[in-house]
Amino acid sequence: MADQLLDGTGGGYLQKVGSDNRSQVRAVIEYEVIHRTENGDSFNWNTGLISVSSDSALIYIKNSSDKQMVITNIAMGIFDGLSYTDAPYLTVLRNPTAGDLISDATAVDMASNRNAGSTLVTDGLVYKGKDGGTVSGGENLGILLLGKTGRSFFEIDLILTKGTSFALHLTGNISSGSANVYAAFIGYYKDSEDI
C-alpha cells in the first residue's frame, strides 16, 4: 500500500484526496476578534461620563499580561454644552510616563468582558482622567479628529506587549461651556500560540 496520511489522534481516519489529487478539507473562517470574544478574551474599556470644560487626559491602558493586547477601536463621545474655537481632537500617546491620569490611578467605570458568559477580567491597568487632567512622556502616536457632538469611532490597530501602554488626551479647543464626554478602547488579548 502507498504512503498514507493518518489521523494523529489515533482515530484511524485517512486524509481524503479528490480526483484532482488535492486534499479535501473543511474550514470554518471567522474574524479573529470574534474568536477571541468566544474565548472570553475581548474587552470594552470605557471611562464612563467625565464632565469637561477644558483640555483633558481621558484614558490610560497598560498591559500586564504575557499575551499581546490588540486595540482594534477607539470610541469617543461628546454631549451638547460646548462652544469651540476649532474642531476638537484626540492625541494618542504611546508609553506615557507621567501626569495625574497615571498618578491618580482612578479605575475606569467599565472594563467589561464582551462575552457575557465569561468570568475573565482585564490583566492590566486602565485608568480614567478628569477635567483638566494631564498625561505626558512617551511619544505622540497620532491625532484623531472628533465631531463637536456625538460619537466618533475609529478603527485602529495598536499592539500592547507586556508593560507597554497607550493614553488618549482631548484637545477640545473649547471657548465656553461644559459637557459630558467618554472615551473607550476596544480590543482583545491574543493567545500566545497566535503570536
Residues above pLDDT 70, as percent of the chain? 95
Segments forming the whole domain that contains residue 59: 43-194
Mean of pLDDT values over 130-139: 97
pLDDT at 51: 98
pLDDT at 181: 98
pLDDT at 23: 85
Q: If pLDDT is split at 50, 70 and 90, which confidence band does 118 have?
A: very high
> Looking at per-residue confidence, does 1 or 94 come out higher?
94
13: in domain: no
112: in domain: yes
- Cα(127)–Cα(145) distance, integer angstroms: 22
7: in domain: no
Residue 123 has pLDDT above 60, yes or no: yes
Range among 31-35, 120-124, 191-195 with highest mean pLDDT value: 120-124
The answer to whether 15 and 5 are in contact (CB under 8 A) is: yes
pLDDT at 194: 56
Residue 161 has pLDDT above 60, yes or no: yes
Mean of pLDDT values over 157-179: 97
The amino acid at residue 188 is Y
183: in domain: yes
- Cα(55)–Cα(129) distance, integer angstroms: 11
Q: Which three cell numbers stand for residue 125?
A: 491597568
- Number of structural domains the chain divides into: 1
Mean of pLDDT values over 131-160: 97
List the beta bridge partners of residue 176.
83
CATH number of the domain within which 99 lies = 2.60.120
Q: If pLDDT is split at 50, 70 and 90, which confidence band does 3 have?
A: low
Q: If pLDDT is split at 50, 70 and 90, which confidence band does 169 have?
A: very high
Q: What is the mean pLDDT of the chain?
A: 93
33: in domain: no
> Which whole-number Å values give the CA distances from 50 to 33, 84, 132, in the listed order?
28, 18, 11
Total-model pTM: 0.86
> Looking at per-residue confidence, does 2 or 171 come out higher?
171
pLDDT at 45: 98
28: in domain: no
> Which whole-number Å values give the CA distances from 21 to 2, 16, 91, in the listed order?
14, 10, 55
Q: Is 42 exposed, middle or buried (0-12, 13-18, 19+ CB in 10 A)?
A: buried
8: in domain: no
Residue 44 has pLDDT above 60, yes or no: yes
26: in domain: no
Mean of pLDDT values over 64-69: 96
Residue 188 has pLDDT above 70, yes or no: yes
